[in-house]
Structure formats: C-alpha cells, structure tokens
Amino acid sequence: MRRIQSVVPMVMLAAVALLALIVGPSVLRTYAVAEQSARIQLARQELSQDDILRRIDRAVAAIADSVTPSVVHIETGGRPNGGNGSSGAGWVYDTEGHIVTNSHVVRGARQVSVEFSDGVIVGGEVIGTDVYTDIAVVRVGRRDGLFPVTRSATRLPRVGERVFAFGSPFGFKFSMSEGIVSGLGREAPGSSIPGGYTNYIQTDAAVNPGNSGGPLINTDGHVIGMNVAIATARSIGATPEDSGGDSAGISFAIPLGTIEPIVHQLVTYGEVSRGFMGISFAGRGGPLDRVMDSAGAVYTGVRVERVVDGGPSDEAGIQPGDVVVAIEGSPVLSVEALSTLISSGRPGEQIDVRVWREGQIRDITVTLAPIEPEVLAARFAQPTMLQMGMIVQETGEGVVVARIFEGFPAALGGLRVGDRIERINGKRVLGWNEFFVLAADEGLLTGETVEFSVISAEGESRQVRVTLRP
C-alpha cells in the first residue's frame, strides 16, 4: 500500500503538468488576443477622437487643388541638331500667358505644345531662354483659364520645411510628390551648363525625368523654386532627363530669388544681360564667414577681398573686408549663391546689398554695371576646352587652335591645329574672352550644334560643325 500511495502524487503531478501543456497555450493565446484587441480598440478610439492626420491630409489636398491648375505639361518637337523632342513641366507665371520652365526642356525646339490640367492643349512660343541659369519662358495664346501660381513674397525656405514637387515624372502628368528642404545654397556639379549659375534648394522630394520645370511649393501653396536636377548613383546634378537613373532622394530646385529677375528680363527684353558689382571674392567652393552683429545675431556671408576702383560697389561705399550677407533680401549661403544673386540683376538696376562691417549690419544700394566679358570667360574657358578637347590661345591674328586631342568633339568635327576661329554661328569672334562667351551663348555647352568659321594656317577658309553631348 505504501508503494501505491507514493505513486499517486507523482501521477497527479504528471496529470497537472499534462493539463497545463494542453490548456496553457490556449489561455496565453486568449490573453494575447484580448490584449491585441484592446490595443486596436484604443488606437481606433484615438484616431476617431484626434483628427490631426485628417487635417494634414486636407491641407495637402488643398495644396494640390490650388496648385495643379497652375501646372502645365510641355512637349517639344525635334531639334535642329537632329535630336528627339523632349517633355517636361512648367507653371503659369502671370495672366498674360507666360509659362516658366527649364531652358533644357525647350531650348532649340521647333514646336512646343502646352497642356493644362483641364485637358486644353495649345501651342507655345519660346520668347527667351537663359542657359546660364536654365530658365526659359514660353508664351501661349490662351487667356481664359490661366491661374498663375502664387509666388512666395516674404517667406524664405528653411531646412526641414515640408515641400511639394509638381511635374510629369515618366510622362505621368500633373503628379505631386512630397519631401522636405534638405539644404540651401547648393552647387550641384553637372547641373545647368559647365560654369553656369546654381545656388540650388536641395530637397528629398521624388523628382524623376519629366519633373524638369515643375514648381516646388511650400506649405502655404506658394512657389519657392523650380525643379531642375537630381542626384543618382550615376550622376550628381544632371537634369532628370539626362541623369541615367531615377530619384535617389536628392533633388535640386532653382530658388525663386533667381527665377524672378531672370523671367522679368526674358519677358521684357527677350534676353538676359548680367549685372556686375565690381567686387572680387573667393572662387567657387571658397569659405564662408560667420559674423555677429552688436545685438548678437549671427550671419553667414562672403568676405569682399577687393573693390574695383570707380566700380559700382566703390561708388556705393562697399569696402574690402565687408561681409556680404544678403542680396535683395536673399541670404548669401555660399560663394556661388552670391555670384548667382548678383548676375540675376540687369545692368542699370539698383539692388539692395546687406553687409556686415566691424560688428554692424549696413544696407547699401548698388547700381549694377554690365558684366565684363572676362568675368564670364573665366567661368567657361576651362569647361569649354575640356569638353571640346582642344586648347585655344589669342595671338596677334586672333583666336587660334593651339592643340587638338584626338577622339574629342573638336577633332571629330574637323578642327585642326593652326585654325584661326573667325566666327561662331556667323557672329564675329573679337578675342579670347568673347570666344568662350559666344560659344556658351550659342548653346555649345548644352549640346547644340555650333558652326565655326575658320581659316587654316595655309589660308583655307572652311566651316566646321561641332556638337557636344551634355
């Protein structure tokens, strides 16, 4: 009997353990399900009571509703050099039928068609392009149903702010993507033309081929810039159409502070004349100065190294050592930003320049002079010779080809050592500086076919056509 009594507790213990194994998981599952159900109910209750996400959705939808009618889809016909047509986006600038887009979207196109969000398609006329900033203006005959996008008058973009990019990525017209401002005053290698002006807004909004020329919008529904370039694993700063890749979360936009004065010149004069302040400062990539005024406010800017005697800045009272912190209210966030802001003004115009001097902020009005050819030539000489594969020099007889590199466009086009370059597209070359400025003006660096009139060392006259592939 004792042996049987000693076995009973063990049997009972085993039975309890077996029951626990059978029932335990079921109980645990029931508890877990109940807990999950409670969490779901609580989350649903919070969502029903707090409509913050719905309010954000409504605000974003309102931006789409207010901006989309101002966005256009652009298609272009074949180009003179045999290239195919292209497509991109643009936006209504005013009620007079002016559409703003990128120069690379429409430059050299024989036909331009503009489609509005209501389905109306009209022909467009390119009234002016500026390859240096990649800005163009197209005029349409339509007057009814034009809704100019509201321009941001006072609110400057800040890093971290939410932005929206509009356009036609991969042909999906009137699309909208969202991101934030990732950086300001960016210089993107490969954007615009070599030596062109940048000063870009960097965002992480999705921008792809077809977004070029579309507006970049802030949370007020106001335009603050225009999509122009992206960075991919293959390239940094190429136009979306030429990048060879898709969006990698880095895109660039031309700021409104650059767009407005350029568009004004294109609409008013049909061309852009660049202003000159008559100061010298560190070149591209040069250092910025951080300065503090007497009230403790901190500014970034570019220090003036030299002032041209008798030039616009000298006459206005700017001195060497001054730190330029803003032009026309736009902050100077890089050396390239300063160059872009100055050059966007037209000779004869007055611009407001804010400088720091000895702990004080001063506002000075400067009347711009015409930019000197050597200033522009300094930007374009090296990239032009590198891409063409040749070296030119100025002699007593004119601009002469000093060296040719085989396999490059200059050699492939038929230029030879000793050739004296007389004209570019029929326009006379007056000197070394004018050669580079004229070549850029005629679209050489943006892929246009350019005709050089040359006289060989033996006195033979001939025409040579050269095309660079950007």
Per-residue tens of pLDDT for the chain, all 470 residues: 445 455 666 666 666 666 666 666 676 677 778 888 888 888 888 888 888 888 999 999 999 999 999 999 999 986 555 556 789 999 999 999 999 999 989 987 889 999 999 999 999 999 999 988 999 999 999 889 899 999 998 888 999 999 999 999 999 999 999 999 999 988 876 555 667 788 899 999 999 989 999 999 999 999 999 999 887 555 454 556 554 555 567 999 999 999 999 999 999 999 999 999 999 887 666 678 899 888 889 999 999 999 999 999 999 999 999 999 999 988 998 888 888 899 889 999 999 999 999 999 999 999 999 988 888 888 888 888 998 999 999 988 899 999 999 999 999 999 999 999 999 999 999 998 999 989 988 888 877 889 999 999 999 999 999 998 75
Domain boundaries, the chain: 2-50, 70-272, 275-370, 373-467
Contacts of 120 (CB under 8 A, 6+ apart): 142, 145
Catalytic residue of the set 134, 204, 322, 419? 134
Residues paired with 369 in a beta bridge: 276
Q: Which of 135, 190, 102, 82 is nearest to 445 (CA)?
A: 190
Cβ density class 402-436: b for 16+ within 10 Å, e for less: eebeeebbbbebebbeebbbeebbeeebeebbbbb
CB-based contacts of 338: which residues, under 8 Å, 6+ apart? Answer: 281, 301, 302, 324, 327, 332
Q: Which residue in 70, 86, 103, 104 is the catalytic one? A: 104
What is the pLDDT, as a whole number, of residue 1? Answer: 45
Active site residue 212: yes
Query: What amino acid is encoded at 249 in this protein?
Result: G
Active-site hit among 70, 113, 175, 212: 212
- Parallel/antiparallel/unpaired status of strands 215-217 and 223-231: antiparallel
Same fold, 275-370 and 373-467: yes
**Pairing, β 175-186 against β 223-231:** unpaired
CATH T-level topology, domain 275-370:
Pdz3 Domain (2.30.42)
pTM over 0.75, yes/no: yes
Angle at 94 between CA 92 and CA 98, to 5 degrees: 65
* Domain boundaries 70-272, CATH class: mainly beta
Q: What is the pLDDT of residue 20?
A: 61
Q: How far apart are CA 345 and CA 260, in angstroms?
A: 10
Question: How many residues appear in the chain?
Answer: 470
Work out the number of other CB atoms within 10 angstroms of the CB of residue 453.
18
Q: Does CATH place domain 373-467 in 2.30.42.10? A: yes
Q: What is the pLDDT of residue 468?
A: 84
